Amino acid sequence: MSAKYVFVTGGVVSSLGKGLAAASIGCLLESRGLRVNMMKFDPYLNVDPGTMSPFQHGEVFVTDDGAETDLDLGHYERFTHAPLSRDNNLTTGRIYEQIILKERRGDYLGKTVQVIPHVTNEIKNAMRKVSANGADVTIIEIGGTVGDIESLPFLEAIRQMRQELGRENTVFIHLTLVPWIAAAQELKTKPTQHSVKELLSIGIQADILMCRSDRPLGIEMKKKIAAFCNVEEKAVIGALTVPSIYEVPLGFALEGVDSLILKYLHMEAPEANLTEWKALVDRCYHPKDTVHIGIVGKYVEYEDSYKSLKEALTHGAVSQNLKLKVTWIEAEGLESKFPEDRSYESQLEGFDGILVPGGFGKRGIEGMLNAIRYAREKQVPYFGICLGMQTACIEIARNVCGLKDANSSEFNPASPHRIIYKLRELLGVEEMGGTMRLGAWACVLQEGSLAAKAYGGATEISERHRHRYEFNREYEALLTGAGLSLTGTTPDATYVEIVELPGHPFFLGCQFHPEFKSKPLEPHPLFREFIIASYKNRLARLASESSETPSLTSTMSS
């Protein structure tokens, strides 16, 4: 059978949710028994998002093979079981890098290297490589917006794919905006019409239109869009803004998106089985209670910086039929000028659990240390991820072991007590460039530890990493003597992966990023257990507050 492709493009404005739309399409096709693969092309010139600011680009998602990719690949993994690697996310920068390397080697035999055919051929070869792994359908998202000069080579490449493969093997889905104009009190279709016209000007006729709006499209409006945009009326899909992103596949299913795709691709498949997704969404909308988590981070002004983290917490909460409430706390706002100044504690009161996520650089570190001290001393469940594990070790070294100058060489290279450091610093190895530990690494768990119990008694796990600095085992005896347990290490015992505080309701730090492997129907065990512990803390706190509040009768009698 010929390779089948679904191409997802966007128009009018960015951030309409192409990644979620593509992931939801993959979810629907999987629910019908098909194998899917997913791919994202990003038009920017960076080779990958690894060096881009979280404030501008958002989270860097990491795959098992250590690729630093766009955050949309996180959506792909959460909504599908597509096997993603560095081949599934390519940027203009990487495409040009490959072409220039070939040109320098003489692969083009002295020919003039041009956008067409050389750049477009490189893009098409990347698509074919991803589709060659046995997928029934490969879903390819083109980043940016139609009309952007950077996107043109990718759009030209998918236009050529249809010419080469035929209409029965390709589907073009275009996501546009249908805005509500308050002054006119109506939805307007003109932006969608112009976007489709722009796409048509480069030779691509959309097969399916997904119209993003914050209220339902009426039948007459769908007819109008279909007539002006040259698509079937049933191919005008309402992409309604919904409270939970996990409702998106169900909304698309009601609109018949999967059936349309199969019709256009000349494919047959069983009816969709969305029972688990429906149950998931039902739990999202009908929780038994709320759990309130405070996240103390460095990039909290832009929530996309912690996209997978927020979703993993949601997965853990929904698995317990709880509604997640998150408060983002800027770490710098918790810093104190004097050691005896504990005024920051007022910002941390009332949370059921506290989490410190990953990050780079020394900004906000003192605030994170204060938050960790509060969680440790007040017996509030604490979960530290990557930087959150490193700062937990530093906090205990300072405030329990008495090493007031304890630090990481990332924050203070001259610190006399480098609790966290680059392992190769002590070996005298100078490194430049890509020095991070990236991708999947094995971790051996200590029997009976909190982590081992969370993982169902497993003795060895595999998790994804993205960091440069490690726990310095020269301080192991001191910290374990103070109560810290090192409950996870690499199989060769070189790197510390998990630390815990036994006797605390939940105090765990991990060097890896568990959020990258959490799925809505398969919540990550560490997030699940953190949520369970946080909810127990909530119930205990509410019970304590209730017992401390005098009843109306006793007040009146006194």
pLDDT of residue 251 exceeding 80, the answer is yes
Lowest mean pLDDT among 227-241, 255-269, 429-443: 429-443
What is the layout of strands, in order, in the sheet containing 496-500?
A: 322-330, 289-297, 353-356, 382-385, 507-510, 496-500, 485-489, 437-445, 460-467
Task: List the domain boundaries for the chain.
Answer: 5-279, 287-421+469-484+493-543
- Average pLDDT, integer, range 371-391: 97
Q: Which of 75, 315, 417, 513 is catalytic?
A: 513
Query: Among 11, 55, 283, 18, which residue's Cα sits nearest to residue 148?
Result: 11
* 8 Å CB contact between 192 and 225: yes
Task: Kindly report the number of other CB atoms within 10 A of residue 202's CB atom.
Answer: 14
As a whole number of angstroms, the distance between CA 237 and CA 260 comes to 11
- Average pLDDT, integer, range 464-490: 95
Task: Kindly report the number of other CB atoms within 10 A of residue 298's CB atom.
Answer: 25
* 8 Å CB contact between 464 and 69: no
Q: What is the pLDDT at residue 49?
A: 86
- The one-character DSSP state at 495 is S
Q: What is the pLDDT at residue 557?
A: 46
E strand or H helix that includes residue 159? helix 152-165
Per the model's pLDDT, the better-predicted residue between 304 and 387 turns out to be 387
Which residue blocks in 39-131 are alpha helix, DSSP H? 54-57, 72-79, 92-105, 120-131
* 8 Å CB contact between 94 and 48: yes
pLDDT of residue 426 exceeding 60, the answer is no
pLDDT of residue 550 exceeding 70, the answer is no
Residue 515 bears catalytic tag = yes
pLDDT of residue 56 exceeding 80, the answer is no
Residue 194 bears catalytic tag = no
Q: Which CATH code is given to the segment(s) 287-421+469-484+493-543?
A: 3.40.50.880
Indicate the class that CATH gives domain 5-279. alpha beta
Read off the amino acid at residue 45: L
pLDDT (tens digit, 9 = 90+) per residue, 331-353? 999 988 877 788 889 999 999 99
As given in the structure block, the two tokens for residue 392 are 């937990």
Q: What is the pLDDT at residue 500?
A: 97
pLDDT of residue 558 exceeding 60, the answer is no
For residue 70, report the phi and psi dihedrals to the nearest 5 degrees.
Answer: -65, 150
Q: Which of 59, 410, 515, 529 is catalytic?
A: 515
Query: Peptide bond before 117: cis, by omega within 30 degrees of 0?
Result: yes
Q: What is the pLDDT at residue 436?
A: 82
Residue 524 bears catalytic tag = no
pLDDT (tens digit, 9 = 90+) per residue, 125-162? 999 999 998 899 999 999 999 999 999 999 999 999 99
pLDDT of residue 272 exceeding 60, the answer is yes
As given in the structure block, the two tokens for residue 554 are 């006793």
Q: Which of 386, 393, 401, 510 is catalytic?
A: 386
Domains 5-279 and 287-421+469-484+493-543 in one fold: yes
